[in-house]
Chains A and B, each alone.
Chain A
Amino acid sequence: MDEIKSKIKTMIDANNVVLFMKGTPDSPQCGFSMAVTNILKHLQVKFEGVNVLESNEMRQGIKDYTDWPTIPQLYVKGEFIGGCDIVKEMFEKGELKKLFESKSLLS
């Protein structure tokens, strides 16, 4: 368990934007993961997708790490931003774009 925790920490520290999702950014396997992927693509923000379906350990590990029961989960600069509902709401209110802008993540 500690091993998966440090693996997750390394991933979110090494990448500005990380999405833990079902499937891959090019081929999401769940509607909620697809919704968040589409938002990130729309904002043209570069992100690293981690497919939790490839590893049961990762699928459970990320839920424990964040204390959050569902996938997808979005991390920006090491900070948990939210799941699908929160990301969608922030996007609709323009807050997500502002967040990325404030961290200089939009080209």
Chain B
Amino acid sequence: MPLTKNEISDMILSAFPDATLELKDTMGDNNHFEAKIISKNFVGKSKIEQHKMVYKALKGKMGNELHALALTTEEKNG
């Protein structure tokens, strides 16, 4: 079962409660998503660490049930 957009959004927001999240189903097929996440949690982390944090929030679904999620992460300042 692929993940729904709502499930992905819930998982990300529960791991990054302060996040500004833009999530798009890029092909309208519930299988290819694009997420832009801006959160304080990313401050001081490398891009690799930031993406790993997101993958962790998705609890092993990335690369399995979740086929494609293009990620952009940014640090939220202030």
Establish whether residues B72 and A85, one from each chain, have CB atoms under 8 Å apart when the complex forms: yes
The answer to the question of B62 belonging to the interface, with a C-beta cut-off of 8 Å to chain A, is yes
Dominant secondary structure of chain A at its interface with chain B: mixed
Segment 22-78 of B: residues with Cβ below 8 Å from A? 47-48, 51-52, 55, 60, 62-64, 68, 70-72
When distances are taken between beta carbons in the complex, the residues of chain B under 8 Å from A32 are: 68
When distances are taken between beta carbons in the complex, the residues of chain B under 8 Å from A89 are: 47, 72
Establish whether residues B48 and A84, one from each chain, have CB atoms under 8 Å apart when the complex forms: no
Segment 19-51 of A: residues with Cβ below 8 Å from B? 32
- CB-nearest residue of chain B to A67: B52
Please give the residue numbers on chain B whose beta carbons come within 8 Å of chain A beta carbons, in ascending order: 47-48, 51-52, 55, 60, 62-64, 68, 70-72
18 further contact pairs, Cβ within 8 A, besides A68-B48, A83-B51, A85-B51: A32-B68, A68-B52, A68-B55, A69-B55, A69-B60, A69-B62, A69-B63, A69-B64, A70-B63, A80-B48, A82-B47, A82-B48, A82-B51, A84-B70, A85-B70, A85-B72, A86-B51, A89-B72
